[in-house]
Structure 1
Amino acid sequence: MIDDIRKILGEEAKDLLTHECTTIAKDRIHAPGPDFIDRTFAPSDRNNRVLANLSRLYNHGRLGGTGYLSILPVDQGIEHSAGASFAPNPDYFDPENIVQLALEGGCNGVTSTLGVLGSVSRRYAHRIPFFVKLNHNELLSYPNRYDQRMFASVEQAWNMGAVGVGATIYFGSEESNRQIEEVSEAFHHAHELGLFTVLWCYLRNSAFKHEGTDYHTAADLTSQANHLGVTIEADLIKQKAPKTSAPGFKALEFGKTDDRVYETLSSEHPIDMTRYQVAGCYMGRIGLINSGGPSGENDTQQAVKTAVINKRAGGTGLISGRKAFQRPRREGIQLLHAIQDVYRCDEIGLA
Structure 2
Amino acid sequence: MDKKLLDLLKDEKEYLLEHECKTIPKKNLHLPGPDFIDRVVTNTDRKPAVQKNLQAIFDHGRLGGTGYLSLLPVDQGIEHSAGASFAPNPIYFDPENIVKLAIEGGCNAVASTLGVLGSVSKKYAHKIPFLVKLNHNELLSYPNDYDQILFSSVDQAFNLGAAAVGATIYYGSKESNRQIQEIARAFEYAHELGMVTVLWAYLRNMEFKRDKDYHKSADLTGQANHLAATIEADIVKQKQPENNGGYNAIDFGKTHRKVYEELTSDHPIDLTRYQVANCYMGRVGLINSGGASGDNDMQQVIRTAIINKRAGGMGLITGRKSFQKPMKDGIKILNAIQDVYKSDEITVA
Give TM class, smaller chain: over 0.9
Residues in 2 aligned to 1:201 and 1:38: alpha-carbon distance in whole angstroms: 26
8 A contact 1:5–1:342 mirrored in 2: no
TM-score normalised per structure 2: 0.99
Residues in 2 aligned to 1:131 and 1:339: alpha-carbon distance in whole angstroms: 20
Q: Tell me how many residue pairs correspond in the alignment.
A: 349
Residue pairs, 1:219-258, within 5 angstroms: 219-245=218-244, 247-258=245-256
Residues in 1 aligned to 2:322 and 2:261: alpha-carbon distance in whole angstroms: 38
Corresponding residue of 1:180: 180
Corresponding residue of 1:45: 45
Residues in 1 aligned to 2:197 and 2:77: alpha-carbon distance in whole angstroms: 21
Instruction: Determine if the alignment matches structure 1 residue 195 to structure 2 residue 195.
Output: yes
Corresponding residue of 1:272: 270
Segments of 5+ residues of structure 1 without an aligned counterpart are: none
Residues in 1 aligned to 2:232 and 2:40: alpha-carbon distance in whole angstroms: 13
Corresponding residue of 2:315: 317
Residues in 1 aligned to 2:33 and 2:192: alpha-carbon distance in whole angstroms: 26
1:37 offset after TM fit, Å?
Answer: 1.0
Instruction: Determine if the alignment matches structure 1 residue 337 to structure 2 residue 335.
Output: yes
> Which deviations, in whole Å up to 9, do the C-alpha atoms of 1:98-142 show, x marking residues without a partner?
000000000000000000000000000000000100000001011
The one-letter amino acid paired with 1:59 is: D
8 A contact 1:2–1:347 mirrored in 2: no
The one-letter amino acid paired with 1:271 is: I
Residue pairs, 1:271-310, within 5 angstroms: 271-310=269-308
Corresponding residue of 1:142: 142
Segments of 5+ residues of structure 2 without an aligned counterpart are: none
Residues in 2 aligned to 1:154 and 1:4: alpha-carbon distance in whole angstroms: 44
> Which deviations, in whole Å up to 9, do the C-alpha atoms of 1:70-118 show, x marking residues without a partner?
0000000001110000000000000000000000000000000000000
Tell me the C-alpha RMSD between the 2 structures: 0.6
Residues in 2 aligned to 1:143 and 1:278: alpha-carbon distance in whole angstroms: 36
Corresponding residue of 1:89: 89
The one-letter amino acid paired with 1:156 is: Q
> Which deviations, in whole Å up to 9, do the C-alpha atoms of 1:139-197 show, x marking residues without a partner?
10111110000000000000000001000000000000000000000000000000010
> Which deviations, in whole Å up to 9, do the C-alpha atoms of 1:43-82 show, x marking residues without a partner?
1000000000000000000000000000000000001110
8 A contact 2:6–2:302 mirrored in 1: no
1:2 offset after TM fit, Å?
Answer: 5.0
Residues in 2 aligned to 1:276 and 1:134: alpha-carbon distance in whole angstroms: 28
The one-letter amino acid paired with 1:3 is: K
Residues in 2 aligned to 1:4 and 1:344: alpha-carbon distance in whole angstroms: 16
8 A contact 1:134–1:153 mirrored in 2: yes
8 A contact 1:82–1:93 mirrored in 2: yes
Identity among equivalent positions (%) equals: 67
